């Protein structure tokens, strides 16, 4: 979790005398205050002076092979660590990073983007400098659109305040922010006395009291309460508070796909994933039949809730996020999500108990191997489920990897990472890098379709370089299986690679090629036992093999389109 910012009392005690720091040094100092120990990226001449400074600082630079990969890695790092950072050169680097940062914005992952730019003195007479697109500030304008806050550090007098404002926004909103460093500003020492003020937002006490009173009254009167926990519970570190609320009130809870595993899926009051048409019918019914659905930190997005197939009536919902609080049709301003959850928990609502739907058999039974059977997506996930521990982080890419991974019964919290809302292919391999850098004790297992793998697999090179023991499982169905299930056509085919041979080219790691359950079992055992480096398992999957979640979705959509 991120460390708290410098406080006024620390400043007064002289611990944070910043008047002698340059703009670059101050930025590094503040990144560290927020718990950032590593920065992902690729250098270039417009950001080189800051790279020199990073090199001399306690912060590690993790050089990547592509900027979009650096962005995905920083996003995953932020999800594990609390905040992440990526540092790139002007436009050719920055603009290549946009898609990853857009995803971090959409899914609330606080990544600090540091972009190089031409120096202020170089801009006189508007010369045609390399990497420039249109205006000098084109890159900054683009990032302004996809970040929660953006600044160009063009004025020494305001640079420190701007850095603080922008980093504070990232910490508060859990969204990416952008800091542009013109190259001749990096070493400038503003030298101005700087009174840093931390702006801790607080709830309006009246509003909070009224909201909790109304919520408790309703929950106590209702007959079928349920909590749906979303991704913000993880981003704001509220897992223990939600568990306290669940256990104190005995209200059963479901999770959304993006929030999968924010609370242990083995909790006795856990109902399952609520994901509309993709989800198990019993869970969908349990949530939609409720006369009081308490949505906590949940985004009402289509993929997250099953492509507009979720059916929740606002008149039956308490909807609490970091951005709004709504109880039925009443809106309450100025109530912070953590305060609402804690106060609600403290008020001990006690609705009547409900009978929970039966847990899926796969979460109760041990996996029985059918050694000769060709490996299928569902069986692969079921086998993988057996090997999950507190130290594994499962990362699912877009495609059937994501749908199938919804069938995992994740035992711990925060160990499931996926781009379940923005759904940009190519997230998983660079995200595995980000997870290992953020927490070397975690074992990253990435499940990725062959199509997505071909997009960003070169980041395996960085994983090999650092000797991280990532396990990457490539679901090889020779193309875009999800698209095939929804819109068949030759455009869904891709060039089949011999994925398991890549370790030879990358100069590290071990490759496995599997066709049957026994081969997969063997490869997974061997990969898990090998902590000396990366393992790449190529699993041949039938062209018409789909997870049950994807099958349910395709069936439901074909009835609607």
Ligand X SMILES: Cc1ncc(C[n+]2csc(CCOP(=O)(O)OP(=O)(O)O)c2C)c(N)n1
List the one residue from 449, 503, 509, 511 that touches ligand X (CB under 6 A).
Answer: 449
By CB under 6 A, residue 480 contacts ligand X = yes
List the one residue from 279, 297, 351, 481 that touches ligand X (CB under 6 A).
Answer: 481
Question: How many residues in the shown chain lie near ligand X by CB under 6 A?
Answer: 18
What sign does the CA torsion over 294, 297, 301, 302 have?
Answer: negative
Beta strands in 432-505 (DSSP E): 443-449, 471-476
Q: Which stretch binds ligand X (CB under 6 A): 19-27, 40-48, 88-96, 450-458?
A: 450-458
List the one residue from 449, 469, 509, 511 that touches Mg ion (CB under 5 A).
Answer: 449
Q: Considering CB distances under 5 to 8 angstroms, the limit depending on partner class, which of Mg ion, ligand X, none binds residue 423?
A: ligand X
By CB under 5 A, residue 451 contacts Mg ion = yes
Of all residues in the shown chain, the one whose CB is closest to Mg ion is 449
Q: What is the 3-state secondary structure (H, E, C) of 360-420?
A: CHHHCCCCCCCCCCECCHHHHHHHHHHCCCCCEEEEECCCHHHHHHCCCCCCCCCCEECCC
Cβ at position 423, least distance to ligand X in Å: 5
By CB under 6 A, residue 50 contacts ligand X = no
Q: Considering CB distances under 5 to 8 angstroms, the limit depending on partner class, which of ligand X, Mg ion, none binds residue 144?
A: none
* Tokens (6 digits) for 21: 């720091």
By CB under 6 A, residue 16 contacts ligand X = no
Q: Which of 467, 541, 454, 544 is nearest to 502 (CA)?
A: 454
**Separation of alpha carbons 406 and 280, rounded Å:** 10
Cβ at position 260, least distance to Mg ion in Å: 21
Q: Considering CB distances under 5 to 8 angstroms, the limit depending on partner class, which of ligand X, Mg ion, none binds residue 431?
A: none
List the one residue from 173, 477, 535, 538 that touches ligand X (CB under 6 A).
Answer: 477
Of 416 and 453, CB closest to ligand X: 453
Tokens 């050169």, located at residue: 89
Of 23 and 417, CB closest to ligand X: 417
Q: Which stretch binds Mg ion (CB under 5 A): 286-294, 307-315, 472-480, 502-510?
A: 472-480
Per DSSP, the residues of 189-250 read ----------------HHHHHHHHHHHHHHHHH-SSEEEEE-THHHHTT-HHHHHHHHHHHT
By CB under 5 A, residue 426 contacts Mg ion = no
Q: Which stretch binds Mg ion (CB under 5 A): 21-29, 56-64, 218-226, 474-482?
A: 474-482
- Do the beta carbons of residue 266 and residue 409 sit within 8 Å? yes
Of 43 and 176, CB closest to ligand X: 176
Cβ at position 521, least distance to ligand X in Å: 21
Of 372-411, which residues contact ligand X (CB under 6 A)?
A: 398-401
Burial of 10 (0-12, 13-18, 19+ CB in 10 A): middle
CA distances to 48, 69, 84, 177 from 44, in Å: 6, 16, 20, 21
Q: Which long-range contacts (CB under 8 A, 24 or more apart) does 364-370 make?
A: 369/517, 369/518, 369/521, 370/517
By CB under 6 A, residue 423 contacts ligand X = yes
Q: Using CB under 6 A as the criterion, which residues of the chain lie in contact with ligand X when the complex forms?
A: 398-401, 423-426, 449-452, 475, 477, 480-483
């Amino acid at each position: 979790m991120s460390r708290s910012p410098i406080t006024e009392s620390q400043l007064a005690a002289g611990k944070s005398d910043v008047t002698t720091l340059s703009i670059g040094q101050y930025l590094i100092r503040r990144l560290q205050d927020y718990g950032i120990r590593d920065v992902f990226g690729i250098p270039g001449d417009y950001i080189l002076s800051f790279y020199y400074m990073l090199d001399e600082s306690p912060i590690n630079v993790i050089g990547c092979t592509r900027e979009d990969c650096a962005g995905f890695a920083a996003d995953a790092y932020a999800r594990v660590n609390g905040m992440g950072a990526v540092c790139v050169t002007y436009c050719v680097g920055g603009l290549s990073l946009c898609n990853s940062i857009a995803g971090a914005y959409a899914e609330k992952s606080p990544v600090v983007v540091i972009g190089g730019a031409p120096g202020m003195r170089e801009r006189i007479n508007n010369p045609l400098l390399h990497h420039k697109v249109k205006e000098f500030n084109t890159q900054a304008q683009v990032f302004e659109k996809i970040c929660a806050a953006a600044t160009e550090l063009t004025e020494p007098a305001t640079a420190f305040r701007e850095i603080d404002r922008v980093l504070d926004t990232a910490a508060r909103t859990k969204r990416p922010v952008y800091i542009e460093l013109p190259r001749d500003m990096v070493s400038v020492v503003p030298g101005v006395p700087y009174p840093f003020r931390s702006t801790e937002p607080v709830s309006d006490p009246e509003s909070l009291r009224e909201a909790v009173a109304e919520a408790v009254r309703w929950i106590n009167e209702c007959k079928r309460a349920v909590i749906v926990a979303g991704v913000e519970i993880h981003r704001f570190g509220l897992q223990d508070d939600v568990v306290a609320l669940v256990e104190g009130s005995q209200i059963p809870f479901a999770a959304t796909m993006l929030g999968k595993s924010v609370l242990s899926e083995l909790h006795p009051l856990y109902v399952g994933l609520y994901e509309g048409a993709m989800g198990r019918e019993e869970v969908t019914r349990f949530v939609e039949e409720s006369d009081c659905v308490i949505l906590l930190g949940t985004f009402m997005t289509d993929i997250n809730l099953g492509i507009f197939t979720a059916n929740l009536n606002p008149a039956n919902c308490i909807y609490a996020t970091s951005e709004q609080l709504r109880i039925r049709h009443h809106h309450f301003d100025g109530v912070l999500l953590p305060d609402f959850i804690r106060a609600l928990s403290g008020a001990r609502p006690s609705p009547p108990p409900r009978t929970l739907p039966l847990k899926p058999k796969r979460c109760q039974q041990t996996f029985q191997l059918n050694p000769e059977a060709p490996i299928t997506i569902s069986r692969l996930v079921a086998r993988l489920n057996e090997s999950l521990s507190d130290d594994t982080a499962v990362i699912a890419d877009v495609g059937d990897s994501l749908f199938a991974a919804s069938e995992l019964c994740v035992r711990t919290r925060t160990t499931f990472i996926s781009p379940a809302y923005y759904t940009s292919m190519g997230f998983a391999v660079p995200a595995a890098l980000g997870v290992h850098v953020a927490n070397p004790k975690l074992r990253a297992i990435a499940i990725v379709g062959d199509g997505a793998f071909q997009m960003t697999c070169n980041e395996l090179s960085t994983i090999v370089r650092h000797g991280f023991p990532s396990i990457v499982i490539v679901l090889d169905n020779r193309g875009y299986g999800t698209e095939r299930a929804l819109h068949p056509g030759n455009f869904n085919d891709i060039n089949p690679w011999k994925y398991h041979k890549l370790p030879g080219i990358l100069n590290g790691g071990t490759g496995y090629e599997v066709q049957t359950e026994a081969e997969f079992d063997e490869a997974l055992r061997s990969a898990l036992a090998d902590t000396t480096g990366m393992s790449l398992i190529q699993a041949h999957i039938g062209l018409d093999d789909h997870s049950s979640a994807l099958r349910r979705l395709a069936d439901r959509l074909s009835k609607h389109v």
